[in-house]
Amino acid sequence: NNKNNSITSITKNMISSSPPRVRACTYMASAMALHFGGYEFARSGALALFTSSDTGLVHPSAYPLAMGLVTPVSLILLYWYGLMVKNKSGGPRQALRRTTLLAISMLTMSIVLLQLSTNGSMIQKGIVALLFIFQNSYAHLLYSQQWSFLGSVMTPTEGAKWFSSIAGLSSLVCTITATCVPTLASTVGLKGLILGTSLTLTLSMPLADRAYALGEKYGFDPTP
């Protein structure tokens, strides 16, 4: 315990003593890693529910149709994001906060409705279909904002140096969470996996918000 506390203390001191831009990028990179890591839970859970003969749609055209709807839904979400930024209703900071809350709310509400619906009913299958489409749509909405912050704060030279490492961190977290899926699925179930994504997104919110707060405080806020 003392060793773990020492490591935690050293890590906190390193972050607090770093330049503000470095701290902001560290917070946002951590938020993005949590987002991508948690996405593996929702992806696996939603896919399993959608392809199940009990809860999903087993018609051969169901999966291609659902995937075909992902692009227009993603565009609608990005358009909504663009309106928020254009109308300057809090700028990118508020936009990321609201879109993350949307993802958390949609995933959590879907699981609640699934719990309340009759197993095997058309209502349940419809909820699963909507969940599957949304789950495949929201990720781009969030990570495009997170990458946008990093791209705005870093210089081109810094970006060339660090972007691959940041992407590697997210990939590593995804790999770790993906390997945990079978164990977690047998413990908390598919619905529990999706709620796990809501949890990781909730944890990512204060980190991303802290990154924007540092930008506002020290004058490198990317808000137009």
Q: What would the pLDDT profile of 98-119 be if each residue is shown by its tens digit?
A: 999 999 999 999 999 999 998 8
In sequence order, which residues have a C-beta less than 8 Å from that of residue 97 and are 6 or more positions away? 90, 205, 208, 209
In sequence order, which residues have a C-beta less than 8 Å from that of residue 110 and are 6 or more positions away? 127, 130, 131, 134, 194
Above 60 in pLDDT, residue 9? Answer: no
Residue 2: predicted pLDDT:
46
C-alpha–C-alpha distance, residues 36 and 169, integer Å? 10
C-alpha–C-alpha distance, residues 96 and 72, integer Å? 20
Contact 200, 32 (CB under 8 A): no
Dihedral sign for Cα atoms in the order 15, 18, 22, 24: positive
Name the band, by pLDDT with cuts 50, 70 and 90, for residue 218: confident
- pTM here? 0.87
| Residue 205: exposure state from Cβ atoms within 10 A (0-12, 13-18, ≥19) | middle
Look up residue 172 and give its DSSP letter.
Answer: H
Q: How far is CA 176 from the centre of its chain?
A: 16
For residues 85-91, average pLDDT: 74
In this structure, of 7-21, 145-159, 190-204, the range with the lowest mean pLDDT score is 7-21
Residue 89: predicted pLDDT:
64
